[in-house]
Structure formats: structure tokens, C-alpha cells
Amino acid sequence: MLTRIDHIGIVCFDLDKTVEFYSATYGFEVTHLESNEEEGIREAMLKINETPDGYASYLQLLGSTRDDSVVGKWLAKNGEGVHHIAFGTNDVSGETVAIRSKGVRALYDEPRQGSMGSRINFLHPKDCHGVLTELVTAATPDSE
């Protein structure tokens, strides 16, 4: 069962300036920063609010560290903006199986490691009306 909007992923040309915008404009605070050199991505997670299931909803701001990264290619083709929406679930594996049974393709055979120790899988945007959709099982409820 999907329990919340876990986050909305937004790609940006300048991560630091985009973090400053969302912090100054909306008062969102950065709760997590992460770099993935292998993927060529820097990210900032900004908490929006707590959710009834003990977790939180976030904005995930994604910047590229190189042009050939997934984010770098996205920026070159589409520019800045919304990249994906992520729904929280207590069982990303089970939810992936259930959604696959309805004819929706998952991008990975098995969930992978995501931000902040989460387990993730993505659903194909062509099967989700043009929206890249992520399923997320958070490592633990947000306690910050």
C-alpha cells in the first residue's frame, strides 16, 4: 500500500542556488545532503512536513556533477524542473510486484539502494502517463 508522497524530485543547474531559493522562499530546511560520484549526482533533501505514518515528505533537489550523468543528460534535454514523483510504501518489493501485475513496467528487477538508506524502484513513465514514478521504502521514520 502506498502511504504518502515521499518526495518530488526536481533537477537543477545549480544545486546551491536552488537550495537557497526553496529555503528562503518557503522556509524548507535541508535535512540531508548526499553525493553519488558513481552516478554523477549531488542531492539535497528538504523536509516539507511530517506524515501520519511517522515519516516525512520532501523535495529532492538533484544536481549533476558531470554532463554524462542521468541528471546531466536530463538537464541538457529538458532543462530544470520536475523529474519524478516518489510514493512511500512499507514494502517496495511487494508494491513493485503488485503494480507489475497491473501491466506497469518497473525499471529494476529488484529494488536498489536509494537516498538516506532507503530501498527504491522506478516505474516506467510511458506506463504512468508520462510521469517517472519512484517507489520508496524509507530506512527508518524521520527523527530529525
Altogether, the residues listed in the chain come to a count of 144
84 in catalytic set = yes
Catalytic residue among 32, 43, 110, 144: 43
37 in catalytic set = no
Catalytic residue among 84, 95, 113, 129: 84
43 in catalytic set = yes
Catalytic residue among 37, 38, 50, 60: 60
CB 61 within 8 A of CB 44: yes
Catalytic residue among 80, 124, 134, 144: 134
Nearest-angstrom CA–CA distance, 29 and 48: 8
Half-sphere exposure of 102 (CA within 13 A, CB side): 10
Contacts of 63 (CB under 8 A, 6+ apart): 11, 12, 13, 14, 15, 18, 41, 42, 43, 71
Catalytic residue among 7, 32, 37, 124: 7
| Catalytic annotation, residues | 7, 43, 60, 84, 134
